[in-house]
Structure 1
Amino acid sequence: MRSSSILFIQVTLLILSTTSLCDPTMKEIKCEVCRALVKESVDLIAKADPKKKIPVGSFRLRADGTQEQKTVLYAGSETHMHDLLEQVCSSLDNYAQATHKENGELILVNLNKDIGKLSTYHVLANPDENGKLRKLCEDMLGEFEDEYIRVFLKAESQS
């Protein structure tokens, strides 16, 4: 009787420890989605043609029929940031949740780019949870779109 109680406790502890490794908190997942969002945004900004320019400002004609327009670099412009918003969350379809094999730290692994990390991380094979990453990204951008654009515009103007 005593050995079955000890076995039950051991199995319960094993399940609880495994669950804690495999079921990260929503806060951790949101942090990782935010990190991936920033990383993907920086990558997409870097891929933009540095020579491409777009017209900005007023498109009104003056009384003499001329038009005054300014051109700015597309890379890092507000237009570019809005275009990024449409693309960046779809890149999270290539991500999966993973935990470090030794310390259980949660990260998001880009399955197309982060092949080297797969040896030290255990990928959580749960398509439903990994499918929610894009939705979390879209929710974050929906809530913080103005701040996202403001931060990246400020970063681009300082570089």
Structure 2
Amino acid sequence: MVISKYHWLLLPVVLVPFISCTLARRGQDVHCGACRALVDELEWEIAQVDPKKTIQKGSFRINPDGSQSIIEVPYARTEAHLMELLEQICEKMTEYGERIDPDTNRKIYLRVLSRDGKKMDASNTNIGREVISDLKFTCERIVEQYEDELIELFSHETENVKDKLCSKRTDLCDHAVHIAHDEL
């Protein structure tokens, strides 16, 4: 078979959509993985706060009747605590690795270090610097871009935050229907 010079011109037309589709899916996988890991980490950090720990909220002005409109609220889900968590939560992405799901052929991100610092099974898991750096950077971008949504969802006890944030509010996980719902 003779390949003319015009056939070579068609090669980019065939390869560019394939490559861009692959890169887009890879980008979507890391965005979805970072969002889901971010939610897991926030839920775990909130659960670690003593439920008896409270802060005063309200106005410190004295009302005409001499009373104040101050109430005590649980600290764990306050905006102050959530903002504090959001500033450092993406550091936890260094405890994750990347694995290819054999069923969907998509990248998934899972912990390779337990919460107490012990190594977990990391077979068939990429824990290279590039993976960790990409996941951490993506997490930071999600926090920056969706800070208001994160605070809104976590300031109230909400079920299925992963689906609400990562799929419905942000479209970071368009394939979330196929992702198993793991528990803490």
User: TM-score, normalising length from structure 1?
Assistant: 0.70
* Percent of aligned pairs sharing the same letter: 32
The answer for the alignment partner of 1:84 in structure 2 is 85
The answer for the alignment partner of 2:29 in structure 1 is 28
For residues 139 and 24 of structure 1, do their structure 2 counterparts lie closer, same or farther at Cα, with a shift above 3 Å needed? same
Unaligned runs of 5+ in 2: 1-21, 160-184
| Structure 2 CA distance for aligned equivalents of residues 98 and 54 of structure 1 | 41
The answer for the alignment partner of 2:60 in structure 1 is 59
Q: In structure 2, the residue corresponding to 1:76 is in which secondary structure? A: coil
For residues 138 and 125 of structure 1, do their structure 2 counterparts lie closer, same or farther at Cα, with a shift above 3 Å needed? closer
- Equivalent positions of 1:98-137 (< 5 A) are 98-100=99-101, 104-113=105-114, 115-116=120-121, 118-119=122-123, 122-137=124-139
Cα-Cα RMSD: 2.8
Give 1 or 2: higher helix fraction. Answer: 1
1:78–1:153: 8 Å Cα contact kept in structure 2?
Answer: yes
Q: In structure 2, the residue corresponding to 1:56 is in which secondary structure? A: strand
- Which structure 1 residue ranges, 4+ long, deviate > 3 Å from structure 2? 60-68, 100-105
Unaligned runs of 5+ in 1: 1-19
2:86–2:143: 8 Å Cα contact kept in structure 1?
Answer: yes
How big is the shift at 1:76?
1.6
How big is the shift at 1:61?
4.9
The count of corresponding residues between Structure 1 and Structure 2 is: 133
For residues 52 and 125 of structure 1, do their structure 2 counterparts lie closer, same or farther at Cα, with a shift above 3 Å needed? closer
| Structure 1 CA distance for aligned equivalents of residues 128 and 69 of structure 2 | 55
Structure 1 counterpart of 2:93, one-letter code: L
Match of 2:148 among 129, 136, 146: 146
1:59–1:69: 8 Å Cα contact kept in structure 2?
Answer: yes
